[in-house]
Structure 1
Amino acid sequence: MTSDGFDFSPGAQVPLMGSAGQTAATHALASAAYRDSPVEEILKADSEWHKSEVKAGKFSLFEPNLGEAFARAVQTRMLGSGRAALIQSFGMEPQTVVEHCLAASHIRKERDTKLTVVMAVCGLLFLPGLLLWLGVFQLRRTIAGSANKRAGTLGTLLLLAIGGLALILLIRLPFTGFLAYYLRGMIVAPVVGWLLARRICESTAKDLRDRWDGLLSGGGIGAKIPDTVPGNPGDSAREQLRQSLEKLTAEQHSNSVFYAGPKGILGMGTRWGSWQMAEELVSKAPGKEINQFRSWDVIRAIHDKLKLLERGPLNSGGFPTPSVKHWIVSPVGEDAKSVSRPEGQDVESFQVKGHEIQRICNHQQFGSGNRHYLGVQFTLWDGQLVITMMITVTVLHETLRVEVTGHALGPVHGLFTTKSSPKTETVSKTLRFWETRTRTLPLVEVPEVVRLAVRAPFTWYPPILDFLGGKLVLPEPFGLRHAWAEKPWRHRFMADDAMRAATPVLRVAHAAALKVLEENGVDTERFAGRSMAVSGGVQDPAPKKADLYDA
């Protein structure tokens, strides 16, 4: 049994980047932590079965952008104490994504510290003026957010009118002495603070965008997360964070998965094809019984054969080295909001032990309980495509069945693979008004500077910002990859790869099973005939929704 306090590692370690060959999906999702687009953009990336939710806060002036909301939600969900079980993210390294979320939050925290100082000097000391200006910006933001464009124009005119009134008061005040100077400072100081805040925000925005584009270019700057390495034995916060990252990695390599009805195996994608070979066990020697064997004997033979899939008679490239693994599959409801991993003395560090795997394979083939599958997994397209073929062997009475099912997880949504673009606007030329030109705008505009400056003092306690500005709620059961994965069938070559993998895996499974049957005195004539029939049917496979039964 795994407890939250268990240390999964030998000691303090420096976090590493994702594994070679699985960086595209990892970097695409990690780039979301550095983005500055509206948080609602992520709703476009939701898959058919998994929907995110953006909860609105009390004031729109405090609302987060996509990067802030994503980093906060992922950190809380994947590193929080007492968190629910996670779904594995195949074809990528979730720890790397979390590290980039931590790095992005660290960069923003440094920016917010500077902004807090500016707010204290130029805002807190002149609080009435600050509240006046914030009230104006909140009013303008509320009006501009209306669907009526005239209302947005009205908000801008209102801001200009109040600015003009403030200028008049600066020139002609009805007061003298200290009060007059304070009233002038009350109007001017927030503006000066805004100018300083803009320089800070512009510098940080450029840094975040460089990291965003660097990740999608295949390289980029590594995640800077000094908070993950304890500085001394008493540094409990950093030690807890380090252990949370190690626990995340341990769960990523768990050998238990969950079948959620029409949603398929969570993290592997829906089942698009199924092929079965089932025949009666008959002795090949009349009057003589067959040798006793178990499902595990057949599975072990198939396992050994699948390990050799990358070898072929021709030097044609062919299969990359596959990942062959025994899986324990637990059934969950289609609309289940959480999952629970197997626990007990037969489980260690999220891994179901070998003897328990054999017991489930041999005895839990009918009725309630977990089931055993042998999976062969190919991670292709730099981690963007994950093909999983699952094999199960059952023996009921005198019938042996070998079933092969295909699962495919497509690339992450295109939203995560788009690079940043400069902010521009098209305006008419001053003299040749019939001609236009494109003008580059600052990365951080006036309303954005105000939003960041207002949020800065509250970043020391994020739940306050969640209450004031809203937050991103991740789909459950949550896994980084399957929540925002597209279907591979829209990509011609990805679809071809998924369907081409079915035939070789099927034939290897059948050949290994027939060899075990032959060695144990079983008449394999019918099995061989059935195998040929199934093999013929898989020649022209087409993706279907195999988990949606027409009944």
Structure 2
Amino acid sequence: MGAAVTDGFDFSPGAQVPLLGTDGETAATQALASAAYRDSTMQELVDISDGAKITPPRLSLFEPNLGEAFARAVQVRMLGAARGELVQSFGIEPQTVVEHCLAATRIRQERDTRLAAVMGVCGVLFLPGTLAWLGAFQLRRSLTGLKEKGNRAGALGGAVLAVAAVLAILLAIRPPFTGFWREYFRLVMIVPVIGWFLARRMCERTAKDLRDRWGGLAGGSGVGAKIPEAVPRNPNQLRAETLRQSLAKLAAEQSSNVVFYAGPKGILGMGSRWGSWQMAEELVPREDMKEINPFRSWDVVRAIHDRLRMLERGPLHTGGFPRPSIRHWVVAPIGEGAGSISRPTGTEVEAYTVKDFEIQRICNNQQFGKGNRHYLGVQFVLWDGNLVITLMTTVTVLAQTLRVEVTGHALGPIKGLFSSKPSAPTKTVNKSFKFWETKKISLPVVTPAEVVRLTARAPFTRFPAVLDYLGGSFKLPEPFGLRHTWADKPWQHRFMADDALRAATPVLRAVHAAAIQVMDENGVDISQFTSRSMALSGLVQGVEPKKADAYDA
């Protein structure tokens, strides 16, 4: 059964209870997850997404809002059967974001089921009147769109609804038929209005629930996502089993040790390279040695790995480094404008992760020419996931020259849109008597036009492809990863910039100390390496972030 569902891909331990984030990553995770519950316009999301596109709606009445478009796009991109491969999202838990998208969709589907019942009784049974009202709202929406573009035709929007209201009154007073059709046409324009009142209460109740979740997540105190449909209760629930395995596949891809270098964009998911420090000197035996003891790049890398594990320990009790993530990475090159990524496959890869023996082979052999490269990374996730600092180390030996290179990458905070909280809509008006003074009045959370939009979409909620066709959709930028797609620059935040700059010096010194120790133990004259290390140690203290990958400095 598992093979029929997932084409043989299943390495998950079974149905599990989803957890919300991990230490140090909850704020950024919840900020992104809050987008699934938002009710603002989809254009706001496009404005902050480099490379994102909107498929124009055929009928603007069916156009999705930000939350609907975000949840739909993320689910299709990250859980779809035909989806492409994803970029890792360092600093957040992408599975948690996807679970909130599923939860938000489930809440909307429950609302839409009730709205579809109202639409069936008050809409389909009185279809001529319903079509007239929908046509009026569609025309008003189109005219309003023209007004936003500077056309005066938008002023006719209100008149359209007024005409529809006059038609409803005329049909109620003097219908054009006799008998049964006389009574039917008395109600044909009125019953849809009654249905609108019922639908408004349902929409307001759900809107309050969604906005509460939005505010809780944006404020850092949101509840976890509830998606019982992801836990199969028996072997015959293929949909639940497929969803469970898709989430497991997402978690496995997130833990992959393969990353992609996209030219000036830097390493996808880790940010662009802002600094680079290289120690490259000739391997010469000491005076007391005829020749050096042979060693390989992996021996140096392994010593650097052991030294980096001691970074969190210091002689003084003054805080210092939190526990970093230290990992061996396989870095694959792709073009800056690449539309997709492709992870390595074969017997040396298991569950998207390159095995240890292959990593060691790449470290020792693939240092020049084509092929992937090996890097040892030390990563700090700070500011509740809003800052990801990664320092990558590579060791190469070409001819008699050993080169130890350390590069700094930084991924900034989530875009400010995701941190905004919901606010009650208000309007400033003049006071009745003291007209020179103003006051604020509260507006309904769900506008009349929004009730019509939601009710019109409700019968098609189980057919998202139809809604995509009628109302358009939001297309995510590629190569896609939840974190780097909406990351801002860390250099605009003074303390984040300080953290990135300060991390480089102790990491560089630890790397150099471990490399020099290995060379000294194997009879290498380390005087030139020591001099170069001291020079770099002084240089790194004054370095400023620059576009290292653009080669314009």
Do the aligned partners of 1:4 and 1:82 also contact (CA within 8 Å) in 2? Answer: no
Residue in 1 that maps onto 2:338: 336
Match of 1:64 in 2: 64
Instruction: Indicate the residue corresponding to 2:450 in structure 1.
Output: 448
Partner residue, 1:99: 99
Instruction: Give the match for residue 427 of structure 2.
Output: 425
Partners of 2:151 and 2:429 lie apart in 1 by 19
Aligned-residue CA RMSD (Å): 1.3
Aligned 8 A contact 1:64 1:471 in 2: yes
| Superposition map of 1:472-491 within 5 A | 472-491=474-493
Match of 2:258?
256
SS in 2 for 1:273: strand
Q: For 1:143-162, list aligned pairs within 5 A.
A: 143-146=143-146, 147-148=149-150, 150-162=152-164
Q: Single out whichever of 109-118 and 13-22 deviates more from structure 2.
A: 13-22
Tell me the CA shift for residue 54 of structure 1: 1.3
SS at match of 2:302: helix
Q: CA deviation at 1:151?
A: 2.5
Does 2:10 correspond to 1:23?
no
Q: 1:135-534 maps to which residues of 2 (within 5 A)?
A: 135-146=135-146, 147-148=149-150, 150-285=152-287, 288-534=290-536
- When structure 1 is superposed on structure 2, of 115-124 and 142-151 the one drifting more is 142-151
Q: Percent identity?
A: 67
Per-residue deviation, residues 423-472 of structure 1 (Å, max 9, x unmatched):
11112222332222111111110110000001111111101111100000
- 2:112 matched residue in structure 1: 112
Task: Report the TM-score when normalising by structure 1.
Answer: 0.98
Shift of 1:236: 0.5
Provide the rounded CA distance (Å) in 1 between the counterparts of 2:229 and 2:176.
Answer: 54
CA distance in structure 2 between the partners assigned to 1:37 and 1:550 by the alignment? 40
- State the shift of 1:224 in Å: 1.3
**In 2, Cα distance between equivalents of 1:173 and 1:72:** 44
Taking the aligned partners of 1:144 and 1:317, their CA distance within structure 2 comes to 57
Contact map agreement 2:261 2:332 (CA 8 A) in 1: yes
Q: Is the 8 A contact 1:392 1:403 kept in 2?
A: yes
Show the counterpart of 2:16.
Answer: 13
Is this contact kept in 1: 2:382–2:388, CA < 8 A?
Answer: yes
CA distance in structure 2 between the aligned counterparts of 1:105 and 1:357, rounded to whole angstroms: 41
Distance of 2:433 and 2:179 partners within structure 1: 48
Aligned twin of 1:33: 36
SS of residue matched to 2:550: coil
Distance of 2:533 and 2:175 partners within structure 1: 95
Map of 1:75 onto structure 2: 75
What whole-Å deviation, never above 9, does each CA across 1:31-87 have from its counterpart, x for those lacking one?
0000000000012222xxx42111112010010000000000000000011321100
Distance 2:417 2:101 in 1: 17
Deviation for aligned residue 1:205: 0.4
Tell me if the contact between 2:38 and 2:214 (Cα under 8 Å) persists in the aligned partners.
Answer: yes
Moved more, 143-152 or 412-421: 143-152
SS at match of 1:547: helix
Contact 2:332–2:371, Cα closer than 8 Å, also in 1: yes
**1:201 alignment partner, SS class:** helix
- Determine the C-alpha separation between the residues in 1 that align with 2:177 and 2:474: 49
CA distance in 1, matches of 2:73, 2:318: 45
Q: Distance in 1 between matches of 2:192 and 2:228?
A: 34
Structure 1, residues 247-306: CA drift from partner, whole Å, max 9, x if none? 101110100000000000000000000000000000003661100000000000000000
- Which deviates the most, 167-176 or 422-431? 167-176
Q: What is the one-letter code of the residue matched to 1:33?
A: A
Q: Deviations over 1:521-548 (max 9, x none)?
A: 0000011011111111111110000001
Q: Could you give the per-residue CA deviations for residues 222-252 of structure 1, whole angstroms, max 9, x where no partner exists?
A: 2111110002111010000000001101110
> What stretches of structure 1 of length at least 5 have no aligned partner?
none
8 Å contact from structure 2 (residues 133, 164) kept in 1: no
Please tell me the residue identity of whatever aligns with 1:85: E
The residue matched to 1:400 in structure 2 has which SS?
strand
Q: Distance in 2 between matches of 1:113 and 1:287?
A: 82
Rounded to whole Å, the distance in 2 between the matches of 1:134 and 1:449 is 11
User: Which residue identity does 2:394 align to in structure 1?
Assistant: T
| CA distance, structure 2, for counterparts of residue 192 and residue 350 of structure 1 | 55
Letter of the structure 2 residue corresponding to residue 218 of structure 1: G
Q: CA deviation at 1:152?
A: 2.5
- The one-letter code of the counterpart of 1:126 is F
Deviations 1:383-435 (A, max 9, x none): 10000000000000000000000000000000000001111111222233222
How big is each residue's C-alpha offset from its partner over 1:466-522, in whole Å with a ceiling of 9 and x where there is no partner? 110000000000000000000000000000000000000000000000000000000
Moved more, 422-431 or 386-395: 422-431
Q: Quick one: which amino acid aligns to residue 14 of structure 1?
A: V
Aligned positions, number: 547
CA contact (8 A) 2:30 2:222 kept: no
CA distance in 1, matches of 2:457, 2:245: 30
CA distance in 2, matches of 1:435, 1:249: 57
- Following superposition, the deviation at residue 4 of structure 1 comes to 5.1
In the alignment, the residues of structure 2 paired with residue 214 and residue 127 of structure 1 have an alpha-carbon distance, to the nearest angstrom, of 41
- 1:36 touches 1:67 (CA, 8 Å); kept in 2? yes
Specify the SS of the correspondent of 2:88: coil
Residue 121 of structure 1 is matched in structure 2 by 121
Q: Match of 2:527, as an amino acid?
A: E
Q: Say if 1:436 and 1:183 are closer, same or farther in 2 by CA, change over 3 A.
A: same
Q: CA deviation at 1:345?
A: 0.2
Question: How much does 1:144 deviate?
Answer: 1.0
Secondary structure of 2:548's match?
coil
Q: Secondary structure at the match of 1:403?
A: strand
